[in-house]
Amino acid sequence: MQFGILVNEGPYSHQASDSAYLFARTAIEKGYKVPRVFFYHDGVYNASRLATPPQDDRNVGARWSKLAADHGVDLVVCVAAAQRRGITDGVLGDNFRISGLGQLVEMGIQYDRLVTFGD
């Protein structure tokens, strides 16, 4: 079973990214595949390496980066949504990449399930 994950909200102000991360991590732990996570709308802010949250809280962006490093998850940020919001290659966290909406559509075509996290 392959899950594609769509994250539509930014970190901290909304739980969507936290829920998506916990879903992805748990799915992988249980033996399912999560080949790709796609970040859209304000979800692109999850990719910024400029975020420096307080040390006693979770680091949402870094947590995604680590999940990608540990399990080869492809973290894709929508180019059009990113350009609107000032997210460029220069501010991307580790293992994030910027690409087009086709990468989202491909998840819907190729994977067994596409799960959306957002409002």
Partner 1 sequence: MSDMDEMEDGSGIVKKFMFLNRKAPHGTVYALEGLEVVLITAAFDQDVSMVFTDDGIYQLMKGIDTKGIEVKDFSRTYRALEGYDIEKLYVDQASLDARGLTEDDLIVDVTVLSVDEMANLMAEQDVVISF
DSSP state for residue 10 in the 8-state scheme: -
Determine, following the binding rule CB under 8 A, whether residue 86 of this chain makes contact with partner 1: no
26-35 CB burial, b ≥16 within 10 A, e <16: ebbeeeebbb
Which residues from 39-78 bind partner 1, rule CB under 8 A? 40-41
Restricting to residues 10-39, name those near partner 1 by CB under 8 A.
Answer: none
**Looking at 24, 78, 87, 92, which residue is catalytic?**
78
User: Please, which residues have CB within 8 angstroms of residue 106's CB and are 6 or more apart in sequence?
Assistant: none
Phi and psi based region of residue 14 (left: phi greater than 0; alpha: psi -120 to 50; beta: remaining): beta
Kindly indicate which of the ranges 11-19, 65-73, 89-97, 98-106 contains the residues binding partner 1, using the contact rule CB under 8 A: 98-106
Interaction site with partner 1 (CB under 8 A): 6, 8, 40-41, 80-81, 100-102, 104-106, 108-110, 114, 116, 118-119
